[in-house]
Structure formats: structure tokens, C-alpha cells
Amino acid sequence: MPFIQTRLENHIGTITMNHPEHRNALSEVLIAEMIEAFEAMKEQKARVIVLRAHAGAKVWSSGHDVKELPTPGRDPLGYEDSLVRVLRTVQYLTMPVIAMIGGSVWGGACDLAFTCDILIGSPDAEFTMTPAKLGVPYNPSGLLRFMNVLGLNSAKEMFFTAQPVQAERAHLQGILNHLVPAASLETFTYELARNITCNSPLSIAAMKESFRLLANASPLTPNMFERIQGLRRKVYDSGDYREGIQSFLEKRPPVFNGE
Ligand code: YZS
């Protein structure tokens, strides 16, 4: 049974995450199917893609598959990590991706949603950034993305508290482009998608790539990069990182001692 379902109608692609047993955890298998689906939509000249969860999902996605996080000593969000790869896929697609969100969004799934071009949510949407709860040092490209979407202080609060941002506040903070009643989420989303399909795909593709380049245009000297990597290595080498994963697997709250 595929973890990803796809549909393409009138230039509108739909990619549905469908692994309810694991709350649409972004496992390597689910992500491989998702990347394949994005590539196929590109081949079939979709003009816009809607990324959504299966009908009735209480959890849009529970984020990186914690059971697949590497053992301490290896970067948990390295360049070739499956989550990082799908984020790049979405960024480099020539057509806009709309995240249609009902339910809770966790960790790397927040990054996936924020990497989409437009987010439309219903009142039960909420966003929780979990690295601090798992002892994970989030990566610079992800931190920059949250800074761009939220602004520095709200991004810090989201990462430091690991508390949920509910739909209304997410709309106020600019995470959600639109907050609509659950009953009209699908109609509203596909109306906006249809609107995009009537515009020039060439013009939109050029502007999407320009937005990507401008949003990432933060100068980072090699020294700055190495300092960040050094800070991150201390964390993913730590007992806290080990404790974060172990506590999840043992279904108990983590006890961090800062070592
Ligand atoms: O025990 P079984 O085998 O039935 O499986 C359970 C969960 O283990 C599994 N599952 C996951 N497995 C791997 N990775 C996940 N992220 C994950 N989430 C869930 O799905 C089965 C049902 O889970 P329950 O907990 O029983 O479901 P429920 O009581 O409805 O609670 C749903 C939530 C989403 C609230 C709960 O599953 C949860 O808290 N999941 C973890 C959310 C999380 O912390 N995700 C962040 C993962 N980390 C990242 O994305 C990045 C590395 S970072 O942390 O840096 O942002």
C-alpha cells in the first residue's frame, strides 16, 4: 500500500501523505515516494501542486521518522538526509506547492510545510518545532527558513520552547497564508490552485526561483559555517541527543543534563 497517493487534473497535482498508522512520519520510504511523485508531476507539466494528508488526518505529519535518526556522532540533518533532500526538491520545483494543512505538524514536517510556497490551514492546524525536545541541533538552512517565515524572535521562541503554535497565531505570524473553516479548506485550496493555473507558468517559475535565491542570500563566510558545524557536532555527539531519541522510543519524557 503506497504511503503517497497522487492525482493530476487540469494542471493541478495533488500529493497525499497516507501512512496513518505512523502519523505520516517522514520515513525514508514515504519521502522516496514523495520525491518520485514531485518529479512525475514536473514531467507531466503540473502548474501547481497541493501537498496534503489523507482525509480526516488529526496529524498532518509527525515529522522526521525518529527511528531513522542516526546514532550519535553523525549529523542528523546532513545534506543527504531524506528530509533535507525532499526540502530541496520542493524548493527547486518550477511550480508552486501549496500545503493544505489540517491537524498537527511536527518537527521536520513544519520545515516541509514552510518550504512550500503557500500554506492554507484549518482551525485544527498547529505547528510544533521539536529539535530541543529531542536534543537535535537543527541545521542552518532550516533555521534561516524559519527566520524568513517567522522573523527572528518568533523563530527562536518556536525552537526554544518546542510548544505548539496554534492556527490563529500561525495565521497572525504569517505561517498560514489563509486560515479557513475545515469544511471549506479543500474548496478554498483548489480555488486558489485553479487561479494559479490560469497564469504564466514561465513567469511563475522564474519568480519562484528568484524568491529562493533572494531568501537564501545571507552571506555566510567559511569561518561562520565551520563555527556553526562545530556547535552542531557538539550536540549530535552529546548524551542529550542520545537521550532525546531514547526517550521517544521508550515513550517517556526526556531528561536532559546538558552533556
Ligand atoms: O508505537 P507504534 O509502533 O504504534 O508507533 C507509534 C509511534 O511510534 C509512531 N510515530 C512515529 N514514529 C517515528 N517517527 C515519528 N516522528 C513518529 N510519530 C509517530 O506512530 C505510531 C502512533 O503514534 P502515537 O504516538 O501512538 O500517536 P498519537 O497518540 O496519535 O500521537 C501523535 C503524535 C504525533 C502527537 C505522536 O506520535 C508524537 O508526538 N510523535 C512524535 C512527533 C515528533 O516529535 N516529531 C519530530 C521528529 N523530529 C524531527 O522531525 C526533526 C529531527 S527535529 O526534531 O529536529 O525537528
Convert the pLDDT of each residue in 83-100 to its tens digit.
Answer: 999 999 999 999 999 999
Q: Is 92 a catalytic residue?
A: no
Q: Is 138 a catalytic residue?
A: yes
* Percentage of the residues of the chain whose pLDDT score is greater than 70: 100
Q: Is 67 inside any structural domain?
A: yes
Q: Is 220 inside any structural domain?
A: no
Is 17 close to ligand 1, i.e. is its CB under 6 Å away? no
Exposed / middle / buried, residue 93 (Cβ in 10 Å: 0-12, 13-18, 19+): buried
Mean predicted confidence (pLDDT) in 201-229? 90
What distance in angstroms lies between residue 169's CA and the mean position of ligand 1's atoms? 23
What distance in angstroms lies between residue 24's CA and the mean position of ligand 1's atoms? 9
What is the domain-level CATH number for residue 161? 3.90.226.10
Q: Is 171 a catalytic residue?
A: no
CA–CA dist 211, 205 (Å, integer): 10
Mean predicted confidence (pLDDT) in 38-57? 97
CA–CA dist 115, 78 (Å, integer): 17
Task: Supply the range of the domain harboring residue 63.
Answer: 4-181
Question: Which ligand 1 atom sits closest to the C-alpha of 244?
Answer: 54
In the predicted model, is pLDDT for residue 1 greater than 70?
no
Q: In this predicted structure, what is the pLDDT of residue 161?
A: 98
Question: Which ligand 1 atom sits closest to the C-alpha of 130?
Answer: 54
Q: Is 130 inside any structural domain?
A: yes
The catalytically annotated residue of 11, 13, 19, 64 is 64
Q: In this predicted structure, what is the pLDDT of residue 71?
A: 85
Higher-pLDDT residue of 155 and 2 is 155
Q: Is 52 inside any structural domain?
A: yes
Cβ atoms of 120 and 188 closer than 8 Å: yes
Within its chain, how far is the Cα of 71 from the centroid?
A: 22
Average pLDDT, the chain: 95
**Nearest CA residue ID for atom 22, ligand 1:** 22
Q: Is 201 inside any structural domain?
A: no
Mean predicted confidence (pLDDT) in 195-203? 95
Q: Is 203 inside any structural domain?
A: no
Q: How many domains does the chain have?
A: 1
Q: Which amino acid appears at position 118 of this protein?
A: I
Residue 196's CB is within 10 A of a number of other CB atoms, namely 18
Is 106 close to ligand 1, i.e. is its CB under 6 Å away? yes
61 phi and psi angles, rounded to 5 deg = -165, 140
29's grid cell: 520510504
Q: Is 98 inside any structural domain?
A: yes
State the pTM of this model: 0.95
Q: In this predicted structure, what is the pLDDT of residue 186?
A: 98
Q: Tell me the HSE value of 120 on the side-chain side, using a 13 A CA sphere.
A: 21
* Percentage of the residues of the chain whose pLDDT score is greater than 90: 92
Q: Is 159 inside any structural domain?
A: yes
